[in-house]
């Protein structure tokens, strides 16, 4: 789930630290309150809210800012402390006050859609605060052991300042890892963890970030190539500094994470795989299903729809097998489709033609799926 963000933040240790972390009104909350108090020109105030929220998100989620190319945030990580997480949850109420002050009827058709989508997204986020997603910050798919190297790889690398920003983030990684360990500890205490079986490969994933040779370490990748404008002497300095931070800070921090995951997190994680086994798990799962599918269908209805679609598709495949005159059973037919060279594309034109065929087939298939009102 996405984290909400805040304006007017101060960088401490290259993490985003809000002046409102201790409970005081943040700049974002104050700005939203001022906007909500203004009367008239609802369309303009809606645009101002979107602008305010976007700047708020960029400053409080530097990784996302890097991803979308928003400047000035590339030397920091998002603050994952418990205080900052609670502050973000509280801040979700601020834009709702603005939305409630705007008369939807006075907006144009397009703006009404924008209004509805923003309102729905914010309402879903507020509802989701009851579930402690933050207590499971590491899985086999994402987390500090996966996402951070990707963020550095996405970071701009045009000037020496860009590379210094990457080094700043490397310096701050130990604190980010400590925050992740603390959150995982809270998850163990409350019974909120991924299923143990899904964590099987995580220790190796962490070890993959601990390669001592900088040239083979994923975090050193940005320092393997430099633009021509950066002189060789500057390149050498940046490489040396990055390698030093890797050796003295980053690798030991990941070693600490590895030891925690192996000795405490995996042994203490849950055996059962169903999300309904989590605290408040049934409601949590229903919330995830509803917000992910954007329908009012229950999990059971979606499951039944899936079964009916599998049955329908199997009937269609049987018809295709019969039309082709294939001699054999369904399993043999599937193997034939996977292995016969005639079904592979040998050039760009045939690949594009096949892609169009697949898209058209998908459109025809999904056109028959009923959508819940």
Residue-wise pLDDT tens digits, 129-185: 999 999 999 999 999 999 999 999 999 999 999 999 999 999 999 999 999 999 999
pLDDT score at 338: 85
* pLDDT, greater one: 367 or 144: 144
pLDDT score at 349: 65
- Read off the pLDDT band of 7 (50, 70, 90): very low
Indicate if the pLDDT at residue 323 is higher than 50.
yes
Overall average pLDDT of the 199-218 stretch? 96
pLDDT score at 306: 93
pLDDT score at 351: 63
pTM (2 decimals)?
A: 0.80
Indicate if the pLDDT at residue 9 is higher than 50.
no
Express each pLDDT in 61-86 by its tens digit: 999 999 999 999 999 999 999 999 99
Express each pLDDT in 31-64 by its tens digit: 999 999 998 899 999 999 999 999 999 999 999 9
pLDDT score at 324: 85
Distance separating alpha carbons of residues 24 and 2, to the nearest angstrom: 23
- Read off the pLDDT band of 4 (50, 70, 90): very low
Sign of torsion over alpha carbons 112, 113, 114, 117: positive
Express each pLDDT in 266-287 by its tens digit: 999 999 999 999 999 999 999 9
Distance separating alpha carbons of residues 188 and 98, to the nearest angstrom: 38
Indicate if the pLDDT at residue 344 is higher than 90.
no
Overall average pLDDT of the 348-371 stretch? 57
Indicate if the pLDDT at residue 366 is higher than 80.
no
pLDDT score at 163: 97
pLDDT score at 367: 47
Where do the structural domains in the chain lie, given as residue ranges? 1-129, 135-294, 295-366
Burial profile 301-312: b = 16 or more Cβ within 10 angstroms, e = fewer: ebeebeeeeeee
Express each pLDDT in 305-316 by its tens digit: 999 999 999 999
pLDDT score at 86: 96
């Amino acid at each position: 789930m996405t984290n909400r963000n805040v304006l007017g933040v101060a960088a401490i240790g290259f993490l985003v630290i809000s002046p409102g972390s201790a409970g005081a009104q943040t700049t974002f909350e104050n700005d939203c309150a001022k906007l909500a108090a203004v009367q008239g020109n609802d369309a303009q105030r809606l645009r101002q809210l979107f602008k305010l929220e976007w700047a708020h998100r960029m400053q409080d989620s530097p990784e996302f800012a890097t991803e979308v190319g928003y400047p000035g945030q590339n030397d920091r990580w998002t603050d994952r402390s418990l205080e900052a997480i609670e502050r973000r949850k509280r801040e979700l109420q601020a834009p709702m006050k603005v939305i409630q002050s705007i008369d939807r009827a006075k907006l144009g058709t397009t703006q009404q859609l924008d209004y509805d989508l923003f309102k729905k997204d914010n309402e879903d986020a507020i509802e989701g605060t009851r579930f402690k997603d933050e207590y499971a910050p590491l899985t086999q798919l994402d987390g500090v052991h996966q996402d951070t190297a990707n963020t550095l790889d996405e970071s701009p690398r045009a000037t020496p300042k860009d590379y210094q920003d990457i080094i700043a983030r490397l310096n701050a990684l130990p604190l980010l890892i400590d925050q992740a360990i603390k959150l995982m500890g809270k998850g163990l205490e409350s019974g909120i963890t991924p299923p143990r079986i899904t964590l099987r490969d995580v220790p190796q994933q962490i070890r993959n970030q601990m390669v001592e040779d900088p040239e083979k370490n994923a975090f050193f990748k940005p320092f393997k190539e430099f633009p021509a404008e950066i002189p060789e002497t500057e390149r050498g300095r940046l490489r040396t500094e990055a390698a030093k931070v890797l050796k003295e800070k980053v690798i030991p921090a990941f070693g600490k994470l590895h030891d925690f995951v192996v000795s405490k997190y995996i042994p203490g994680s849950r055996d059962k795989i169903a999300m309904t086994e989590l605290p408040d798990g049934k409601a949590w799962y229903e919330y995830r299903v509803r917000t992910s599918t954007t329908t009012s269908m229950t999990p059971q209805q979606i499951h039944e729809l899936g079964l009916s679609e599998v049955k329908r598709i199997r009937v269609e495949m049987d018809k295709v097998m019969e039309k082709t005159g294939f001699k054999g059973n369904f399993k043999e037919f599937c193997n034939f489709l996977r292995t016969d060279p005639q079904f592979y594309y040998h050039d760009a034109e045939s690949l594009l033609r096949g892609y169009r065929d697949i898209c058209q087939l998908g459109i025809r298939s999904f056109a028959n799926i009923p959508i819940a009102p």
